[in-house]
Amino acid sequence: MPVPGGLKAWRDIHESRDSRWEPGSRSRAATARNDMNESLLFGGFLFVLGVVFVTLGAIQFFQGRRRRRHWRPAEGTVIGPHDRDLKTDHEDPARPIIRFEDDRGVSHTFESDWTMAGLPGIGSKVRVLYDPYHPDRAIYHTGFSTLFMPLVIILAGIAVLRVAAYYLLDK
């Protein structure tokens, strides 16, 4: 017994259900599965990236906290940039050399992790934290380097985790 409207009516019904349907194409369910798989893959990538950011930020935060508690503060002096040819070495900017004295009065010199643009000029007094058991391990101490930057990294990781949750849970 023929169906009223025949094949044309059947196509019209299916095309109205799924505007992407064409004869020979994947079904609506297969398209939805593919979209869900892509969403899970992207969400999983973002989740791993967010966990990496939060972990690195936490490590930096707790290292800074340990340094603030156990390392000793000292006043250092910026004595000059590291001996580099600034005209030819554009990738690695000059890093300042800082001299300080430990509790025993012994003078120590170290190269800072900060570039010259991030520090006061030559001859300026700066705050230094050093390991009392290994005074050659010293850092130029700012709140930015030991507290603020780790928190920014952690917050960026939380933001990435929130986007990952959108892709993993809301789809």
At residue 100 the predicted structure's pLDDT band, cuts being 50, 70 and 90, is: very high
Q: Which domain holds residue 137?
A: 72-83+95-142
Q: Would you call 88 helix, strand, or coil by DSSP?
A: coil
Q: 126 pairs with which residues across the strands?
A: 76
Domain shared by 42 and 99, yes or no: no
Domain shared by 131 and 163, yes or no: no
Those residues whose C-beta lies under 8 Å from the C-beta of residue 145, and which sit 6 or more positions away, are 64, 113, 114, 139
User: pTM of the full predicted structure?
Assistant: 0.58
* Residue 99, pLDDT score: 92
Q: CATH no. for residue 124?
A: 2.40.50
> Strands across the sheet with 72-81, in order?
107-111, 96-101, 72-81, 125-131, 134-140
Tokens found for residue 62? 């707790």
* Residue 24, pLDDT score: 55
At residue 33 the predicted structure's pLDDT band, cuts being 50, 70 and 90, is: low
At residue 153 the predicted structure's pLDDT band, cuts being 50, 70 and 90, is: very high
Classify residue 9: in a domain, yes or no.
no
Classify residue 17: in a domain, yes or no.
no
- Find the mean pLDDT for residues 13-18: 51
- Find the mean pLDDT for residues 123-149: 81
- Find the mean pLDDT for residues 88-106: 76
Q: What percent of the chain has pLDDT over 90?
A: 18
| Secondary structure of 95-153 as H, E, C letters | CEEEEEECCCCCEEEEECCCCHHHCCCCCCEEEEEEECCEEEEEEECCHHHHHHHHHHH
The answer on pLDDT for 54 being more than 90 is: yes
Q: How many domains, in total, are found in the chain? A: 2
Domain shared by 53 and 105, yes or no: no
